[in-house]
Amino acid sequence: MSDYTKLTPQITPDTKPYWDGLNAHKLRLQRCTDCGKVRHYPRPVCDACYSMRVEWIDASGHGSVHSWTTTHHAFHPGFKADLPYTLVSVDLAEGVRMNAQLRKLDPAELRVGMPVRVAFEPATDGLTLPVFVPAS
C-alpha cells in the first residue's frame, strides 16, 4: 500500500458495495427498490422518487463512448508515469454514464458511439479500478 502514490477513494458505507464489486470483477450499480431507476455514481437518494431504499445490480458492462480526453500533463505526481493516458466517458447500457481510463485502443480511433466494455485492473491492496476496452 505504501508505495502506491495515486489518489485513492474515500470509501463510505454508501459506496462500499460498488468498490467491493470491482474487487470481485463486477460492475455494480444502484437501483431504486421502489421505482426501479438505476443511478450512478453511488449516492443515498433516488432523484426520481426520493426513496432511500436501494439494491445493487450487476451491470452488463457494455456501453458506448460519449466523449474522451487524452491527458499529457501530470496534475498529480502519482500519475506522471502513466502519461499520456486517455479517459473515456461511457454511456452504459443501463442508462447511466461513467468515466474510466481506456485500454487496448489507440485514442485516435475513438469515435462518439463506439462500443466498449468494462474491464478490471487491480490497483493496490483492496482497490480495483474499472477501465474500458473495445467491445469486440
Q: Which residues bind to other proteins, rule: CB under 8 A?
A: 6-11, 15, 40-43, 66-73, 75-76, 79, 82, 85, 87, 89, 96-101, 107, 111-112, 123, 127, 129-131
Q: What separation in angstroms does the CA of 17 have from each of 4, 29, 38?
A: 23, 9, 15
Q: Which is nearer to other proteins, 111 or 136 (CB)?
A: 111
- Residue number with CB closer to other proteins (36 or 78): 78
Closest approach of other proteins to the CB of residue 100, in Å: 5
CB of 90 to other proteins, least distance (A): 9
**Cβ of residue 33: shortest distance to other proteins, in angstroms?**
21
Residue 3 backbone phi and psi in degrees, to 5: -90, 5
Q: Are 54 and 31 in contact (CB under 8 A)?
A: yes
Reference 81, options 9, 4, 133, 134; nearest CA is 4
Grid cell 501530470 is found at 74
Nearer residue to other proteins within complex by CB, 43 or 53: 43
Residue placing its CB nearer to other proteins in the complex, 2 or 76: 76
Name 54's Cβ contacts closer than 8 Å, sequence gap at least 6.
30, 31, 32, 33, 46
In whole angstroms, the minimum distance from the beta carbon of 18 to other proteins comes to 8
